[in-house]
Chain A
């Protein structure tokens, strides 16, 4: 811990020096600027991980083929036998017959006891386990005894979230296509300006938020070893948040926009519903934790409770009018839009990972203290960095510098979190091929490191010089909100839903979901990053603006292709969800009723 703190102060001293070196801006060797090199490295990391996963899978496939080859050799051997002389065969047969006469009595090991699987160790007997195309994954082995009410809450929260995910990304895909065919329609309520915030807000408040809270209910109850304080409140909040998204989207399409600040486009009466929903959720979670039956507050609950209280404060500050005229609004906008991502989505989701990752691996988190360090640094650093969205703007230079310095400081919570997750996975790497949950966690963790670090690099003045205002920002936000948040949420959903409903989705479809989403995201972000860089360089060169529009067109095509894959993956996910929850009440809670894991006090 002490060592950590020393390193941390050392970093704080070093960072401003590194940054001030950034101030002299030249573009002649932009390729060798630290920010750009860093970003390339980060993208390479993702690519390498993808290749490794792919390689492991291919390896399995090759093994199967090898085995088939062995079978073939055996047949060839049989043919040889047929071709043999009679006398030879007789001799061999004679020898074989006498060998076969030797018989075990059959009870050398077990004595006379009857064979039976009393401990329920065998779950399934398969006569053909070698599917050439899809690795056999481990089945979910436990079913958890969970109160019916809690099950229903988790399922309905995730269900609504899934609906918003599909709808929100459908809108996103439509917007992406408008870059290629701007004349697709001429309806005012479908125009780009009005629809863009519909997409962003729908996936923010509809998909991510509802899924997070739904999973949060499970984590809070489970780690506190009590029932949720008030089930009814959970339903009120569910209704309020869904109402927010419905009303907000309708308002935006009707042209009622709060003022165009990103993620602040819902007008206050609509956002008020969301805020009330959060307050209810917070009280419910807090009271549940307060009545916990174990003395320690598990680290997940730190993150979840704090993210709720921070977001409530954030919504209030973001919407209060007293300091929002002139550039006051701009200061708040930077603060709000970054904290919306950092204090709400990131913090809450990290809380979920601290529970679901170790539980999926059936082992404790690597370091509890590292989690605590990540928690406090998340609060200190993330809060300060909003203005990095307005570098070189008319906002005060000192505010911009603070934002840049603390953006660099974000390395600390990010490295702490990533290390913790990877070290927890260490020793269980072979589970990646065996589990359909872990690849989601692994990709989420990698993107947590890559996306956040890339964001810090992007805040530097030089990188900002090239990338600000370009499509690179869009790539970054998808890398984080999708690569981190959505992948972690899917991991958590696949980890817990089968245990609640007793129905596992088809592994082929989970695999399809994973690969479509991953490849789609990769195509999406790499195309926009490359295009965004060329766009920025074109501006620096002083070319006419329209040139930068023309040069983007091929990259927008690739973006749309990536987006289509992502949308397709969400349809698969929606089907998987449907499959998991359909008729779940009729599914017997468990086939091995004696062995249900009981919630036990410590």
Chain B
């Protein structure tokens, strides 16, 4: 029999062979199996630009701080409508090139937020560009590095026609008077980030989150009798504060202030609701506001706008769910005509 104590050949062979066998069972076979997944029918492949953006994402090793996986537990519900499934990664997790393997986008640490559906949560290109140029310009408490090497500083005179200018507030400029334009890589990276959205499953909603006990209790209450009392402040900080800031003051030169704004304080809330639903691009001195109509329900929009109209010294009447519903219907008919 094997005498491992005296026979070095047997010892090494056995240790090696058993390890290889176990590795095949626990790693190689499951890996082959996981590789067999197919994309979800309406899942969009990455465009050329988005793929290049993914390469920038890998170069800067964004995976060190950002995950891309919605786990099947309740706390991850904020990062996506459903738990991630293997098919979600069909297009993004392919070998990059001869030298580099399929990117580990799932990540292992959330020093920054999960990015599974960052494209839905934050569809504004201007926000992403400013955030990459200096995260603290939009989120003052952020510890994310800034990426100035993805941008160029130019004189206003030498601006080209198709240059993408980033609206950087004065205090974040290195040299006053210069314009900041986004490099091709920055635009590609933002394209990639905007492409990060969860594909809806054909069967409707999928898989449920394992709930946390406390969660069920509070949710049960708010879903049932208290649905009218959504927390506008909380919703605002989740959906709007990234640009308009918690203080409502926005970022000068990038995102307009809501404090004392004529639109916000207008007795008639129609235009405010319209902007939230449809987005807004009427002012060249500010970034484009993306539409939020698909992401927010009528009740949520009502809660948010009511919060805006009653905070930071603003003083305008409450917005009801009915108001929002009416305007949404109105927009729908408008579009159909």
Q: Do A and B come from one complex?
A: yes
- In the assembled complex, how far is the CB of residue A548 from the closest CB belonging to chain B, in whole angstroms? 8
| Interface status of A73 (Cβ within 8 A of chain B) | no
Asked if A384 contacts B26 (CB within 8 A), the reply is yes
Please, which residues of chain A bring their CB within 8 A of the CB of B282? none
Query: In the docked arrangement, what's the CA distance between A468 and B144, Å?
Result: 20
- In the assembled complex, how far is the CB of residue A402 from the closest CB belonging to chain B, in whole angstroms? 7
| Interface status of A46 (Cβ within 8 A of chain B) | no
| Interface status of B23 (Cβ within 8 A of chain A) | yes
* Given the contacts A186-B146, A395-B34, A323 and B58 also touching, CB distance less than 8 Å: no
| Interface status of B253 (Cβ within 8 A of chain A) | no
* Given the contacts A265-B61, A326-B93, A297 and B103 also touching, CB distance less than 8 Å: no
| Interface status of A144 (Cβ within 8 A of chain B) | no
Please, which residues of chain A bring their CB within 8 A of the CB of B35? 323-328
Query: In the docked arrangement, what's the CA distance between A33 and B211, Å?
Result: 17
When the two chains form the complex, which single residue of B104, B139, B212 contacts A333, counting CB atoms closer than 8 Å? B104
Query: In the docked arrangement, what's the CA distance between A468 and B147, Å?
Result: 28
Please, which residues of chain B bring their CB within 8 A of the CB of A542? 75, 78, 215
Asked if A469 contacts B67 (CB within 8 A), the reply is yes
Number of B interface residues, CB 8 Å?
87
| Interface status of A208 (Cβ within 8 A of chain B) | no
Count of A-B contacts judged by CB separation below 8 Å: 274
Q: Which residue of A lies closest to B12 (CB)?
A: A305
Query: In the docked arrangement, what's the CA distance between A39 and B21, Å?
Result: 33
Residue-wise interface mask of B (77-100) relative to A, using a CB-CB cutoff of 8 A (1 in contact, 0 not): 010000111101110011110011
Please, which residues of chain A bring their CB within 8 A of the CB of B47? none
Please, which residues of chain A bring their CB within 8 A of the CB of B111? 471, 549
Query: In the docked arrangement, what's the CA distance between A286 and B15, Å?
Result: 13
Asked if A260 contacts B67 (CB within 8 A), the reply is no
Query: In the docked arrangement, what's the CA distance between A308 and B320, Å?
Result: 69
When the two chains form the complex, which single residue of A260, A322, A323 contacts B103, counting CB atoms closer than 8 Å? A260
Please, which residues of chain B bring their CB within 8 A of the CB of A379? 15, 18-19, 22
| Interface status of B65 (Cβ within 8 A of chain A) | yes
* Given the contacts A317-B27, A394-B84, A539 and B75 also touching, CB distance less than 8 Å: yes
Query: In the docked arrangement, what's the CA distance between A545 and B28, Å?
Result: 36
Please, which residues of chain B bring their CB within 8 A of the CB of A255? 59-60
| Interface status of A191 (Cβ within 8 A of chain B) | yes
Please, which residues of chain B bring their CB within 8 A of the CB of A314? 23
Query: In the docked arrangement, what's the CA distance between A26 and B147, Å?
Result: 40
* Given the contacts A297-B8, A324-B102, A394-B83, A310 and B15 also touching, CB distance less than 8 Å: yes
Give A324-344 interface residues, CB cut-off 8 Å to B: 324-333, 335, 343
Q: Residues of B with Cβ closer than 8 Å to A? A: 4-6, 8-9, 11-12, 15-16, 18-20, 22-23, 26-28, 30-35, 37, 58-65, 67, 69, 71-76, 78, 83-86, 88-90, 93-96, 99-111, 113, 135-136, 139, 141-149, 210-215, 234, 237-238
A-B contacts besides A317-B23, A329-B104, A389-B108, 16 pairs, CB < 8 Å: A182-B136, A183-B136, A186-B149, A188-B147, A258-B100, A306-B16, A309-B16, A310-B19, A326-B35, A326-B37, A326-B89, A331-B27, A380-B18, A392-B210, A395-B30, A473-B108
List 19 interface pairs A-B (beta carbons < 8 Å), by A numbering: A178-B143, A191-B60, A193-B62, A256-B99, A267-B99, A268-B99, A322-B32, A326-B89, A327-B34, A328-B31, A329-B103, A332-B28, A380-B22, A394-B85, A394-B89, A396-B34, A470-B110, A473-B109, A544-B234
